[in-house]
């Protein structure tokens, strides 16, 4: 037991999460043989088997599963001790692991990074763009410091700070500019383009249109909001996007945007972090900056809704 180290715990945690020596080694930035040797050294020091190995896959033993869970608790506590020291030094410095959902990242990150670097010149921002489900897993597991998501996140161990609301807006052909805006009920009868399954914005858009489980051919899907807008510009259908995306997406597609009829559908964007995080005060300051960046993005979008000058 004397040779059990934090490095052992981090390597084993990576293997438990990745389920594959090659991917775990890549995640840890070491060679696969080196990782395999470290895991074997861990097992030998404990006198137990944590991993069942075969030619094609690995599987944790029952003890390995329990060891992984307890090891994560230890690693999270160690990371929070380091954060406690960082928080005591004053202005935020060093790595900040910030998660952000794909329907926010392209429209908020450039402005936010500029503001953060200006205010905290010693910060090392490490953003990660991923679906909400994955961000929550990483945040609870201590692999992220905070995340920007659509609320509510509904995770008891996290602080949720609402920052701003934004509308869902309709994107349609440029030829449709000035025509009456269809109701959400009418949208159900149109060719509606949506993000792929897994995106929370997809689920919110379906809810706006009161669509339950659409037939496979009733909707068309895209991997990003940019893809959807380009498809609309090509005359394939219509889509919904968040308001902050308007200024960016209108630049390169022959489309028009319109606000939906009242009551206009909205979503709440906020920042979340662990209740136990020693960086809570600094994260609250960053959350305020996120809110300002989001509101600025929506101010930029406002020009797209003005009638064209004659």
CATH of the domain at 67: 1.10.10.10
Q: Kindly state the DSSP code that residue 302 receives in the 8-state scheme.
A: G
Most confident of 49-63, 98-112, 196-210: 98-112
- Tell whether 170 and 288 lie within a shared domain: no
Shared domain check, 228 and 177: yes
- The tens digit of pLDDT for each residue in 99-148 reads 999 999 999 999 999 999 999 888 889 999 999 999 998 898 888 999 99
- Is residue 197 assigned to a domain? yes
My answer on whether 235 and 290 are in the same domain is no
For residue 88, pLDDT over 50 is answered with yes
To 10 degrees, what angle do helices 32-46 and 21-28 make? Answer: 100
Model confidence band, residue 308 (pLDDT cutoffs 50, 70, 90) = low
Report DSSP state, residue 253.
S
Give yes or no: residues 253 and 169 share one domain: yes
The residue behind tokens 């869902």 is 168
What's residue 142's pLDDT? 84
Confidence of residue 305 (pLDDT cuts 50, 70, 90): confident
Are residue 198 and residue 254 in the same domain, yes or no?
Answer: yes
Q: Per the structure, how many domains does the chain have?
A: 3
**Cis peptide upstream of residue 286 (ω within 30 degrees of 0):** no
| 56 in a structural domain | yes
pLDDT tens digit string along 33-54?
998 999 998 888 888 899 988 7
**Band (149; pLDDT cuts 50, 70, 90):** very high
Q: What integer pLDDT is reported at residue 178 of this predicted model?
A: 81
Instruction: Find the mean pLDDT for residues 162-172.
Output: 93
- 201 found inside a domain: yes
Whether residues 199 and 79 fall in one domain: no
Prediction pTM value: 0.75
In-domain check, residue 1: no
Q: Is residue 310, in this structure, part of any structural domain at all?
A: no
Angular region, 123: left φ>0, alpha ψ -120 to 50, beta rest: beta
Tell me, yes or no, whether 247 lies in a domain: yes
Res 87: pLDDT? 65
Query: Which of 80-84, 191-195, 227-231 is predicted least confidently?
Result: 80-84
Contact 136, 155 (CB under 8 A): yes
Give the confidence band of 91 by pLDDT, cuts at 50, 70, 90: low
The single-letter DSSP state of residue 102 is T
Give the rounded distance of the alpha carbon of 254 from its chain centre.
29
Q: How far apart are CA 212 and CA 9, in angstroms?
A: 44
Residue 308 lies in a domain: no
Q: What is the pLDDT of residue 214?
A: 53
Number of neighbouring beta carbons within 10 Å of residue 169 = 23
Query: In the structure, what pLDDT confidence band is assigned to residue 307 with cuts at 50, 70 and 90?
Result: low
239 in the same domain as 95: no
Mean pLDDT of all residues in the chain?
86
Rounded to an integer, the average pLDDT of 230-255 is 90
Give the whole-angstrom CA distance, residue 60 versus residue 64. 5
Percent of the chain with pLDDT over 70: 92
Give the three-class secondary structure for 273: strand
CB neighbour list of residue 144: distance below 8 Å, 6 or more residues apart:
97, 98, 99, 128, 135, 138
User: Which among 232-236, 247-251, 254-258, 284-288 has the top mean pLDDT?
Assistant: 284-288
Neighbours of 84 (CB within 10 A): 12
Distance CA 165, CA 150 (A): 9
* Mean pLDDT computed over 197-214: 76
Q: Looking at the structure, do residues 189 and 262 belong to the same domain, yes or no?
A: yes
CATH number assigned to the domain comprising residue 204: 3.40.190.10
97, 223: one domain: no
Those residues whose C-beta lies under 8 Å from the C-beta of residue 266, and which sit 6 or more positions away, are 165, 166, 167, 168
Residue 16 has pLDDT above 90, yes or no: no
Domain that residue 47 falls in: 6-84
Peptide bond into 256 cis (omega under 30): no
Give residue 251's region: left, alpha or beta (phi > 0; psi -120 to 50): alpha
The predicted structure's pLDDT at residue 20: 86
pLDDT over threshold 60, residue 304:
yes
Whether residue 170 sits in one domain with residue 243 = yes
Residues 259 and 177 in one domain: yes
Question: Which has the closest alpha carbon to 208: 234, 182, 229, 228?
Answer: 182
Phi, psi for residue 148 in degrees, rounded to 5: -105, 115
Q: Of 84, 102, 118, which residue constitutes the final position of a domain?
A: 84
Residue 140 sits in the same domain as residue 219? no
Query: Which has more confidence, 74 or 188?
Result: 74
Q: Are 108 and 79 in contact (CB under 8 A)?
A: no
Query: Domain boundary at 43, 59, 84, which?
Result: 84
Boundary of a domain, candidates 19, 54, 84: 84
pLDDT at residue number 171: 93
Query: Is 309 within the bounds of a domain?
Result: no
């Amino acid at each position: 037991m004397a040779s059990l180290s934090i490095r052992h715990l981090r390597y084993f945690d990576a293997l438990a999460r990745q389920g594959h020596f090659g991917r775990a080694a890549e995640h840890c930035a070491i060679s696969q043989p080196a990782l395999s040797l470290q895991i074997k050294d861990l097992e030998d020091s404990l006198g137990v088997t944590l991993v069942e190995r075969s030619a094609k896959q690995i599987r944790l033993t029952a003890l390995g599963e329990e060891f992984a869970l307890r090891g994560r608790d230890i690693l999270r506590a160690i990371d929070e001790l380091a954060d406690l020291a960082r928080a005591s030094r004053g202005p935020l410095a060093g790595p900040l692991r910030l998660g952000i959902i794909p329907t926010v990242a392209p429209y908020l990150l450039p402005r936010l990074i500029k503001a953060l670097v200006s205010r905290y010149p010693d910060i090392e921002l490490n953003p990660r763009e991923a679906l909400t489900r994955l961000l929550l897993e990483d945040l609870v597991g201590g692999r992220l410091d905070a995340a920007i998501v659509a609320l509510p996140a509904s995770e008891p161990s996290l602080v949720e700070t609402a920052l701003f609301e934004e509308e869902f807006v309709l994107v349609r052909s440029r030829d449709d500019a000035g025509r009456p805006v269809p109701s959400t009920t009418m949208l159900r009868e149109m060719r509606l383009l949506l993000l792929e399954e897994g995106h929370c914005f997809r689920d919110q858009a379906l809810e706006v249109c009161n669509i339950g489980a659409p037939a496979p051919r009733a909707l068309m899907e895209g991997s990003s909001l940019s893809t959807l807008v380009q498809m609309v510009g090509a005359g394939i259908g219509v889509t919904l996007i968040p308001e902050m995306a308007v200024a960016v997406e209108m630049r390169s597609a022959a489309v028009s945007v319109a606000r939906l009829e009242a009551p206009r559908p909205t979503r709440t964007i906020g920042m979340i972090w662990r209740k136990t995080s020693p960086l809570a005060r600094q994260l609250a300051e960053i959350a305020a900056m996120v809110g300002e960046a989001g509101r600025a993005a929506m101010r930029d979008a406002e020009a797209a809704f003005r009638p064209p000058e004659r």
